[in-house]
Structure 1
Amino acid sequence: MNASASPEISVVVPVHDEAGAAVPLAREIAQAFAGRSYEMIFVDDASRDATLAELRAAMADLPALRVLAHTSNAGQSRAVRTGVMAARGSLVVTLDGDGQNPPHEAPRLIDALVAAPANVALVGGVRAKRQDTGAKKQASLWANRIRKRLLGDDADDTGCGLKAFRRDAFLALPYFDHIHRYLPALMIREGYENRYLDVDHRHRETGRSKYTNWGRLMASFSDLLGVMWLKTRSRRPGAVSEF
């Protein structure tokens, strides 16, 4: 696979301070998508360690690898958006850069999206056996319950980094920081449907989490209010005809 070709699938991975983890993850992605038309785009969000240097060195023997870099730290959602905007594939699958999302699950999500009706724009992963601390799992459980109740979306695990979606549908969504946690609700707002698959989850082997429960709670509260407002301002035109 040559990165200059026109791939069908773009694998987008946001990374920040993931030295020692990013390149092994890229090699796993290459193995998972071997024989398929794909590219992988790692977006370095102004890492302070050797992440960017390691990824650039790996490009020599990973021809499908593209590396983009932010000069200022802008967060996970912006890194995902940077990657999707640069993507050449019409289908995108995202993974977290810490290696906890097993790359072998990504083709399953893409295949489910391809097999789904045209009005299905997203297939999300659900971490069936989440390998995180009890505090993180409890915080996510309550956050998901509250979000589903207030937004009326259909997702049990919006925090899972494994998501496959149609590029054009994603780019049509209103952008804001932390949008990656509200993709199901926003897709429904645009008239699309979502599907979900149980996926594996692994222990973090290197680095540390970029989020705390308290920090995530504060951001989620304001984001939730914003998405609730967006839902009230949505007006869909039904079928569109051209003459």
Structure 2
Amino acid sequence: MNYKFTIIVPVYNEEDNLERVEKELLAYTKIASLPTKILFVNDGSKDSSQQLIEDICNRNAAFNYILFEANRGLSAAIKAGFDYADTELVGYIDSDLQTAPEDFNLLLKHIDTYDLVTGVRADRKDSFVKNMSSKIANGIRRAFTKDGMDDTGCPLKVIKTEYAKRIPMFKGLHRFLPAMILLQNGKVTQIPVRHFPRIAGTAKFGLWNRLLGPLMDCFAYLWMKKKYINYTVSKQG
């Protein structure tokens, strides 16, 4: 099949979720607005996630995987997905499925006009502490980056692959994807998507990851913005 869209699924110790991930993503491939394939990125899971991923890929032609030899974090998993993607569009969704794969179709409606389309979680089903720390972190990041995005932590995004592959990722930078597209003079927008409570597995982020870590990452972003190289080739011989 001539696939047009790759969905990256970062995985770290999600054995309790993967059966549902297979079911929901397989169902989505049948209603997707573009021919779609799935790329699991196993971030060095220590449970049975890898065996489950291989079983899923063996019985579904549109599913594939890469496995890290050790845990490297969410940003590294997303970056590897960008590196290995061979379709014109790439997106990602968390393996906890707190967002719905079907909502990719809402984002894909706008990708002809924009270079990144991100979801913004409406009516979030998280705890008060998680919601407030996320809201504060987003406010701090927005003040630093001026990207105008309300919820860059939303794990539902679609990006033109040519832009995604030019993002110089480092740990924590997955929160700055819209800002990194803007550095390339690309266009970004956000679209409301549904949000659901986690029903299996364990959350990988605490207060440090959601609030204090992102504050430190803002300074890393400012350094990168100052040093960022961007060019356009006008002619080639």
What is the TM-score of this pair, normalised by structure 2? 0.93
Q: 1:242 and 2:232 equivalent?
A: no
Distance 1:223 1:71 in 2: 25
Aligned CA-pair RMSD: 1.7
Provide the residue aligned with 1:48 in structure 2: 46
Q: Where do 5+ consecutive residues of structure 2 fail to align?
A: none
Aligned length: 234
Q: Secondary structure at the match of 2:110?
A: helix
Provide the residue aligned with 1:223 in structure 2: 217
In 2, are the aligned partners of 1:127 and 1:160 still within 8 Å (CA)? yes
Q: How does 1:32-47 map to 2 (within 5 A)?
A: 32-34=28-30, 36-47=34-45
Distance 2:66 2:109 in 1: 26
Distance 1:74 1:187 in 2: 23
Quickly say closer, same or farther: Cα 1:235–1:97, change in 2 above 3 A.
Answer: same
Per the TM alignment, residue 110 of structure 1 is displaced from its structure 2 partner at its CA by 2.0
Distance 2:98 2:106 in 1: 16
Of residues 20, 25, 38 in structure 1, which corresponds to 2:16? 20
Amino acid at match of 2:49: T
> Which deviations, in whole Å up to 9, do the C-alpha atoms of 1:47-81 show, x marking residues without a partner?
11111111211223322110211110001111111
Per the TM alignment, residue 236 of structure 1 is displaced from its structure 2 partner at its CA by 5.0
Distance 1:179 1:215 in 2: 12
In 2, are the aligned partners of 1:112 and 1:123 still within 8 Å (CA)? yes
How many percent of aligned residue pairs carry the same amino acid? Answer: 28
Provide the residue aligned with 1:81 in structure 2: 79
Per the TM alignment, residue 178 of structure 1 is displaced from its structure 2 partner at its CA by 1.6
What is the TM-score of this pair, normalised by structure 1? 0.90
Amino acid at match of 1:182: F
Per the TM alignment, residue 87 of structure 1 is displaced from its structure 2 partner at its CA by 1.4
Amino acid at match of 2:20: P
Q: 1:29 and 2:25 equivalent?
A: yes
Distance 1:48 1:184 in 2: 31
Provide the residue aligned with 2:6 in structure 1: 10
Distance 2:223 2:58 in 1: 47
Q: Where do 5+ consecutive residues of structure 1 fail to align?
A: none
